[in-house]
Amino acid sequence: MTIQLVSKRYQVADAADPIEFCFQQGWTDGLPVVPPTADRVAAMLEAARLDAKQEVGFITHRAVSISAEKVAINAVMAGCKPEYMPVVIAAVEGIADPRWSYHGPGTSTGGAAVLMIVNGPVARELDVNCGDNLFGPGWRANATIGRALRLVMRNVCGSMPGLLDRGTLGHPGKLSYVIAENEAESPWTPLHVERGFRPEQSTVTVMAANGPHQFYNQLSNTAEGVLTTLADDMRISGGVMGQPHYAVVLAGEHMRTIAGSGWNKADIRRFLFEHTQNSHAHLKRTGRMSAELKPGDETLMRPLVESPDDILVVAAGGRAGTFSAYIPGWGSKRSSQAVTKEVKRPGV
C-alpha cells in the first residue's frame, strides 16, 4: 500500500540534533524521542493497515480529530515497534469513547493516568509484561505503548501539563501505565472475557487511574485472609467519595492462595464490595463528606464503589512475593468509565 502523509514537515540541518529539535518544539514528555521520519511513520501505518487520514477518534469537548497519521507519528516518537501500532490504536479509540469522557480525566486536577490492561493473544505475541516488576521498567511494549498514548494526548488532544492537563500532582503512570493479564497462569476468567469478548480476541481496557498501591500479606493462607488485608487498605483510598472504578491486581502468591480457597473473580469483587464500606460518621469526621454528624451516621454505610462490577480484577505480577496492588480510578464512574476495545490486527 502507498502511504500518503499529510503532516507538516520540518527540515533539520544535518548538523542539528533531531532529538534536540523535538525537545525545542515542545513535542516530548521530557524524555528523548525517536525522530519521526516519514519512513518510520509509514511503517507504523503499514503495520496496522491504516490510511494516514483515517480518523481514529474524535474528542468532542476539545473538537479534536485524531488521525491515524498523528497516532503513528507519536508512536514512532515513543519508541514503539510497528507491530505495537494496533494496540496503540485500540487505546486511542478507548480514550475517545464517550464513556471514557476524555475532557475530565485528560484535564483534571485529580491527575489521572490511563491505565491500560492488555488481554488476549496480542499480549503474549508482543511480550507485554504480566509478571515480575509489573509496573516497573524493563519491557519495551509496556514502556512505549503507554508513552505513545500519552504523547497523543499531549500533542494531539492538547493535554499539556500546566495548560489543559492541570493535574495537581499527577503520577509516574502518566509516562506509561501498561500491564497485561497473566492469562497463562491465572485460574480465573480473563478480564476481556468478563467484559464480553471471546478468549481468542485481543483487547485493551483503558481506565482513568491513580497510581498503584501495593499491599502486603504474608500470613494468610486463605482468600478471606488476603482479601481482608486488601479491603482494609482500600477502604480509605483515592476519591473515596467519588465512587469510581478500582482495579485490583493480584500477583502470583496471592492469586494461588485465593484460587486455592475456590474463589473466582465474582467472589473477590463481592467480598471487596462488602468489606470496603465506610460509615457516614467516619467520612464526616475525616473531612471527606460534607454536612454535620447526624444520629445513625455510625451505622449508615457508604460503599466504596457503586457496584461490585466497578472493581476490575486482574491476575498479574511476579510469581514470588506476597504483594498485590489496588488502583483507585479517577473521579467517579459518572465522570469516566473504563472502556475495553478490541485490538484489530491485519491478517489475524
Partner 1 sequence: MELLDPTTGAAAQAIAYAPRPGSIEGKRIALIENTKFNSDKLLVKIGDILVHDYGAAGTRMWRKRNASVPAHEEIIEEVRKTCDVVVAGVGD
Contacts with partner 1, residue ranges (CB under 8 A): 5, 7-12, 14, 18, 21-22, 27, 35-38, 41, 61-67, 69-70, 73-74, 77, 101, 103-105, 107-109, 151, 155-156, 158, 290, 331-332, 334-336
Find the shortest distance in angstroms from Cβ 164 to partner 1.
Answer: 10
CB 244 within 8 A of CB 329: yes
> Given the complex with partner 1, which of 62 and 256 has the nearer CB atom?
62
> Given the complex with partner 1, which of 42 and 179 has the nearer CB atom?
42
Torsion of CA 232, 325, 146, 169, to 10 degrees: 40
Kindly state the DSSP code that residue 118 receives in the 8-state scheme: E
CB 237 within 8 A of CB 283: no
CB 324 within 8 A of CB 214: yes
Copy the grid coordinates of residue 221.
493462607
Find the shortest distance in angstroms from Cβ 221 to partner 1.
Answer: 43
Q: Could you give the angle at the alpha carbon of 263 between the alpha carbons of 259 and 266, nearest 5°? A: 125
Find the shortest distance in angstroms from Cβ 191 to partner 1.
Answer: 25
Find the shortest distance in angstroms from Cβ 226 to partner 1.
Answer: 34
> Given the complex with partner 1, which of 190 and 242 has the nearer CB atom?
242
> Given the complex with partner 1, which of 101 and 203 has the nearer CB atom?
101
CB 284 within 8 A of CB 292: yes
Find the shortest distance in angstroms from Cβ 10 to partner 1.
Answer: 5
Q: Supply the DSSP string of 48-69, one letter for each residue.
A: HT--TT-EEEEEGGGTEEEEHH
Q: How far is CA 5 from the centre of its chain?
A: 30
Spatial CA neighbour of 146 closest among 126, 118, 107, 116: 116
Kindly state the DSSP code that residue 102 receives in the 8-state scheme: T
Find the shortest distance in angstroms from Cβ 234 to partner 1.
Answer: 23
> Given the complex with partner 1, which of 77 and 281 has the nearer CB atom?
77
Which residue type is seen at 76? V
Torsion of CA 107, 110, 111, 113, to 10 degrees: -90
In the block, cell 494516514 appears at: 52
> Given the complex with partner 1, which of 69 and 267 has the nearer CB atom?
69
Find the shortest distance in angstroms from Cβ 343 to partner 1.
Answer: 22
> Given the complex with partner 1, which of 9 and 262 has the nearer CB atom?
9
Determine the Cα–Cα distance for residues 156 and 271; give it in Å rounded to an integer. Answer: 41
Kindly state the DSSP code that residue 308 receives in the 8-state scheme: G
Find the shortest distance in angstroms from Cβ 39 to partner 1.
Answer: 10
> Given the complex with partner 1, which of 8 and 295 has the nearer CB atom?
8
> Given the complex with partner 1, which of 252 and 331 has the nearer CB atom?
331
Determine the Cα–Cα distance for residues 141 and 178; give it in Å rounded to an integer. Answer: 8
Q: Supply the DSSP string of 161-174, one letter for each residue.
A: BTTTB--SS--GGG
Find the shortest distance in angstroms from Cβ 18 to partner 1.
Answer: 5
